[in-house]
């Protein structure tokens, strides 16, 4: 069963995976009934989470069987709950590559004017290339664009586009895979074979692996960065119960 699950994750196109996930969530929670782990997004407990990731970056016990959150989603949710995101009025939100775990929850929020966008996702309102966003300058109060920038050809161009469509005083979260053991981003355009990309960049469709210089790249695109360190800012959180990555940080990108 585990081999079949891993094969499907690595071979099926993303739009089809999104559709199949709605069927999977109907029976998977029954198979993982228990109290050992907790997902704060769906607020459900399970015996354990599912495994996830490539051969190079494989992790056990990280994928919620109900809403399919990973470590990064659960951490972002905890940040959003601590922030004014759910209480501030009239937030115009652009959500690039909308995560299924967040999509229905954000849609319900009456304080959000919610727009989703992606290159091909079936749950996106708009479809476009992030290198050239077909939207007006200074349009959005908040932008989420998670685990996208490692896939694009020119990440600086995409960052500047995100900055352009963000309102002054707005903010965004643009999570990416980060190797916290590396000071600099690793990028090599000569590596084109999917198997080699997985070895070097942790996934076959990644074009780079970010290092601890990631916030400097966002600053170069015009953002001011504020650091959310859950070790300091979320005292008392049970990392093991929620299966969070103890090294992960959230960089809040703000437009002055």
Asked if pLDDT for residue 101 goes beyond 70, the answer is yes
Domain boundary among 70, 98, 127: 70
38 and 139 co-located in one domain:
no
Domain boundary among 14, 36, 70: 70
What distance lies between CA 219 and its chain's CA centroid? 20
Detail the DSSP E strand segments found in the chain. 33-39, 44-46, 50-52, 59-63, 91-96, 112-118, 126-127, 140-145, 166-173, 186-187, 208-209, 224-228, 250-254
Q: What single-letter DSSP state applies at residue 49? A: P
57 and 139 co-located in one domain:
no
pTM (2 d.p.): 0.89
245 and 125 co-located in one domain:
yes
pLDDT digits (tens, 9 = 90+) for 205-224: 999 999 999 999 999 999 99
Q: How far apart are the first and last CA of the chain?
A: 50
Domain boundary among 12, 40, 70: 70
How far apart are the C-alpha atoms of 114 and 170, rounded to whole Å? 15
Asked if pLDDT for residue 117 goes beyond 80, the answer is yes
Instruction: Tell me which of 149-158, 172-181, 228-237 is least confident.
Output: 228-237
223 and 104 co-located in one domain:
yes
126 and 50 co-located in one domain:
no
Asked if pLDDT for residue 19 goes beyond 50, the answer is yes
- In the chain, the number of structural domains is 2
Tell me what pLDDT residue 53 has: 84
pLDDT digits (tens, 9 = 90+) for 69-91: 999 999 999 999 999 999 999 99
In degrees and rounded to multiples of 5, residue 16 shows phi and psi of -70, -40
How far apart are the C-alpha atoms of 105 and 86, rounded to whole Å? 11
Q: What is the DSSP string of 107-168?
A: HH-TTEEEEEEESS-TT-SEE--TTS--S-SS-EEEEEE-S-TTTSS-HHHHHHHHHHHEEE
Asked if pLDDT for residue 1 goes beyond 50, the answer is no
Structure tokens at 133: 């966003």
47 and 121 co-located in one domain:
no
Beta-bridged to residue 92, according to DSSP, are 113
58 and 133 co-located in one domain:
no
How far apart are the C-alpha atoms of 144 and 253, rounded to whole Å? 10
Tell me what pLDDT residue 2 has: 47
Q: What single-letter DSSP state applies at residue 43? A: T
109 and 38 co-located in one domain:
no
108 and 186 co-located in one domain:
yes
12 and 118 co-located in one domain:
no
Residue range of the domain that includes 61: 2-70
Instruction: Tell me which of 26-40, 65-79, 131-145, 153-167 is least confident.
Output: 26-40
31 and 133 co-located in one domain:
no
- Tally the residues of the chain: 256
């Amino acid at each position: 069963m585990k081999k079949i699950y891993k094969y499907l994750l690595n071979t099926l196109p993303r739009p089809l995976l999104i559709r199949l996930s709605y069927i999977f969530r109907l029976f998977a929670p029954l198979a993982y009934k228990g109290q050992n782990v907790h997902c704060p997004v769906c607020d459900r407990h399970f015996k354990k989470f599912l495994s996830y990731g490539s051969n190079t970056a494989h992790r056990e016990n990280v994928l919620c069987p109900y809403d399919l959150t990973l470590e990064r989603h659960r951490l972002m949710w905890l940040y959003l709950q601590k922030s004014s995101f759910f209480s501030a009025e009239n937030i115009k939100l652009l959500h690039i590559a909308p995560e299924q775990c967040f999509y229905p929850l954000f849609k319900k929020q009456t304080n959000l004017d919610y727009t989703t966008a992606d290159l091909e996702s079936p749950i996106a309102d708009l479809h476009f290339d992030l290198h050239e966003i077909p939207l007006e300058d200074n349009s959005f109060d908040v932008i989420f664009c998670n685990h996208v920038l490692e896939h694009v050809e020119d990440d600086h161009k995409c960052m500047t586009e995100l900055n352009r469509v963000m309102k002054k005083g707005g903010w965004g979260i643009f999570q990416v895979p980060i190797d916290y053991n590396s000071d600099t981003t690793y990028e090599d355009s000569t590596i084109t074979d999917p198997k080699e990309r997985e070895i070097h960049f942790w996934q076959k469709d990644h074009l780079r692996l970010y290092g601890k210089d990631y916030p400097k790249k966002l600053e170069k695109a015009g953002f001011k960065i504020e650091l959310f360190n859950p070790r300091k800012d979320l005292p008392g959180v049970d990392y093991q119960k929620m299966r969070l990555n103890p090294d992960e940080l959230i960089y809040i990108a703000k437009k002055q």
